[in-house]
């Protein structure tokens, strides 16, 4: 395997000959696979454009993050700059290399959006990002081509499994009571973390978001029932208000927990609280403040649960 990795070093070095001229655009492109991007993108989708689609993607993306982290820890593959000192790491990376999480997340995110919304222009955007985001990882010196290949394969497999299994799983859970839904949200992420062969920050964040958001979605449907209809001014205020609290929790709890041990446990608590705010706290606040209208049928029927996702911006998403 090391021979294959060493053989791909010239590709990375050839790309890096265009540095620093292309540093800024490639760093901007790679941001589309970062946690900070999804902390902006998912609230925009869930709070402002299409609640159902946002909720589904809020499960898929952390699941993908967990699987990628598990493979990274299990295979323990190096980064290019660790193997060859000629390669410059143009961004900071401290975890293992294989697979490329940016590539994997790009495939599941934009592939799911394309499959759900079925818009030609969206598939064009998805195709471009599935090329450019992985390419940025090579240019920045943090991945080998084999890492990208692993991200493509694992991402595509997860996407196909989610598209096949999610509708039945959603219907099954929807037919159970709140206790079942909360139990699934609490137990399944906990079991996932038990199977991880070692502590990993990405896996902890993914499990925490799955737990917090999963429990929040169940509570939101039972007690709030908000929808994304409304004037664009209202939607913008939702994003500004909800986002301010979300990032306040992220950095405020980080400061509050900075001296507490074990570190990963409080890391988990921080992101679980953020998931709860994102999924149920913010929607409750939006309804109370008149920034969103409650759905008159907060516990939709199985027939409604199984209908196709409506396009972004059509309201009852």
Over residues 108-132, the mean pLDDT reads 96
Structure tokens at 43: 């609230």
Whether 316 and 253 have beta carbons less than 8 Å apart is answered as no
Question: Would you say the C-alpha torsion 289, 295, 297, 301 has a positive or negative sign?
Answer: negative
The number of beta carbons lying within 10 Å of the beta carbon of residue 152 is 18
Check residue 206 and give its pLDDT. Answer: 92
What pLDDT digit, counting tens, does each position of 138-154 carry? 999 999 999 999 999 99
What pLDDT digit, counting tens, does each position of 215-233 carry? 999 999 999 989 999 999 9
Check residue 316 and give its pLDDT. Answer: 43
Whether 69 and 158 have beta carbons less than 8 Å apart is answered as no
Check residue 198 and give its pLDDT. Answer: 58
What pLDDT digit, counting tens, does each position of 267-288 carry? 999 999 999 999 999 999 999 9
Structure tokens at 148: 């990208």
Q: How far apart are CA 117 and CA 125, in angstroms?
A: 13
What pLDDT digit, counting tens, does each position of 294-312 carry? 875 545 444 443 344 433 3
Domain extents for the chain? Answer: 2-305
Over residues 101-129, the mean pLDDT reads 96
**Closest C-alpha among 194, 239, 220, 234 to residue 284:** 220
């Amino acid at each position: 395997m090391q021979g294959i990795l060493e053989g791909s070093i010239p590709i990375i070095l050839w790309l890096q000959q265009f540095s620093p001229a292309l540093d800024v655009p490639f760093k901007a492109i790679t941001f589309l696979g970062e946690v900070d991007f999804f902390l902006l993108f998912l609230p925009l989708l869930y709070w402002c454009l299409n609640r159902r689609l946002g909720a589904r993607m809020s499960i898929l993306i952390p699941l993908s993050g967990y699987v990628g982290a598990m493979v990274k820890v299990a295979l323990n593959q190096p980064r290019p700059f660790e193997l060859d000192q000629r390669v410059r790491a143009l961004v900071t990376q401290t975890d293992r290399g294989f697979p490329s999480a940016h590539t994997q997340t790009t495939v599941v995110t934009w592939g799911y959006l394309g499959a759900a919304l079925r818009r030609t222009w969206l598939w064009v955007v998805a195709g471009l990002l599935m090329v450019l985001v992985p390419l940025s990882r090579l240019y920045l010196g943090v991945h080998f081509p084999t890492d990208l290949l692993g991200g493509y394969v694992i991402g595509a497999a997860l996407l196909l499994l989610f598209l096949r299994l999610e509708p039945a799983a959603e219907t099954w859970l929807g037919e159970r009571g709140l206790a079942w839904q909360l139990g699934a949200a609490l137990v399944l992420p906990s079991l996932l973390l038990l199977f991880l062969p070692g502590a990993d920050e990405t896996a902890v964040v993914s499990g925490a978001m799955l737990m917090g958001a999963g429990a929040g979605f169940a509570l939101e449907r039972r007690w709030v029932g908000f929808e994304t209809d409304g004037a664009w001014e209202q939607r913008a205020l939702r994003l500004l208000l909800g986002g301010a609290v979300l990032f306040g929790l992220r950095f405020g709890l980080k400061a509050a927990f900075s001296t507490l041990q074990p570190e990963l446990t409080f890391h988990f608590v921080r992101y679980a609280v953020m998931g709860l705010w994102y999924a149920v706290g913010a929607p409750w606040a939006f309804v109370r403040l008149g920034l969103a209208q409650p759905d008159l049928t907060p516990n939709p029927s199985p027939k409604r649960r199984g209908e196709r996702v409506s396009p972004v911006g059509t309201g009852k998403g």
